[in-house]
Structures are given as structure tokens and as C-alpha cells.
């Protein structure tokens, strides 16, 4: 199943779940800034609360830009997800975005993987 929402050509987010897998892979694209962050937040909240998914892998491959507002969304939800026995793992970060996250010390809070599969299997262990 896939749910999808988008702001024309600016920001794109979609979730994919493999049958039988508890892990939701959330694909991000475009610009995640102060304007699109609320949309991202609503999407994540829906996934976590309404669909009760607590194992999330964020695919950053197609994301061009992330602002602090976008990162704030992640920080806002990480504790709730972890309290529910899950985690948010980041995968396929473009260099520029990795740089931003690195500055902020995100690698110390979030696990970062170079592929989706690695991130998914990290949940199993």
C-alpha cells in the first residue's frame, strides 16, 4: 500500500510497505523547508499514530534540501517512536544533507545507512 501527498514540484513524500514487513519506507523528495515541514510532520504523525507504524526508514535519496524546520520534525517524533518500541533510521543521504545533519550532531542520535536494505535489516537485529 502507498499513501501519498505532495506540494506541486516542491516537496514530495510517499510511504511504501512491503507485505509482511513492519517497516515503513518513507521516500522524501524535493525541498523540505519551513513551508513544507508541516506537511511532512502531518504525514509522519499519520504514519506513526493512525497506522501504528513505529519502524520507519527515511529514504533521503531524492531530497534536495532540508532546513532546520524539517529536522525539527524528526526530533519532535523520535522519542514518541522510540517509546513505542520503534526507531527512525535514515538512509541514502546525499552528501549535502549529510553535511547539515553532521553539523547538528544528528549521526549521534539517528542511525544512518547507505542503503534501504541495510536500514531495514538493522530493525531485525
Q: Which segments of 8-121 are extended strands (E)?
A: 11-17, 23-32, 55-66, 87-91, 111-113
Minimum CB distance to other proteins, residue 43 (Å):
13
Rg over alpha carbons for the chain, rounded to the nearest Å, is 13
Cα angle, residue 125 at apex, residues 50 and 47 outer, rounded to 5°? 10
Find the shortest distance in angstroms from Cβ 11 to other proteins: 15
**Which is closer to other proteins, CB of 38 or CB of 115?**
38
Question: Which of 45/118 has CB closer to other proteins?
Answer: 45
Task: Find the shortest distance in angstroms from Cβ 25 to other proteins.
Answer: 21
For other proteins, the binding residues (CB under 8 A) are: 34, 37, 41, 45, 67-69, 71-73, 75-77, 79-80, 100, 103-106, 108-109
Task: Give 80 or 118: the residue with its C-beta nearer to other proteins.
Answer: 80
- Please, what is the minimum distance in Å from the beta carbon of residue 98 to other proteins? 14
Q: Which residues pair with 109 in a beta bridge?
A: none
Taking alpha carbons only, the member of 49, 105, 104, 122 closest to residue 80 is 49
Amino acid at each position: 500500500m502507498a499513501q501519498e501527498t505532495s506540494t506541486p514540484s516542491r516537496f514530495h513524500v510517499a510511504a511504501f510497505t512491503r507485505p509482511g514487513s513492519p517497516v515503513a519506507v518513507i521516500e522524501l523528495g524535493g525541498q523540505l523547508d519551513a513551508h513544507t515541514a508541516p506537511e511532512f510532520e502531518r504525514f509522519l504523525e499519520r504514519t506513526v499514530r493512525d497506522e501504528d507504524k513505529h519502524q520507519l526508514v527515511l529514504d533521503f535519496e531524492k531530497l534536495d534540501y532540508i532546513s532546520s524546520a524539517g529536522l525539527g520534525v524528526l526530533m519532535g517524533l523520535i522519542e514518541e517512536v522510540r517509546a513505542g518500541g520503534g526507531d527512525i533510521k535514515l538512509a541514502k543521504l546525499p552528501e549535502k544533507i549529510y553535511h547539515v545533519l553532521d553539523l547538528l550532531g544528528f549521526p549521534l542520535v539517528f542511525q544512518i545507512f547507505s542503503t534501504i536494505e541495510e536500514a531495514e535489516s538493522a530493525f531485525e537485529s
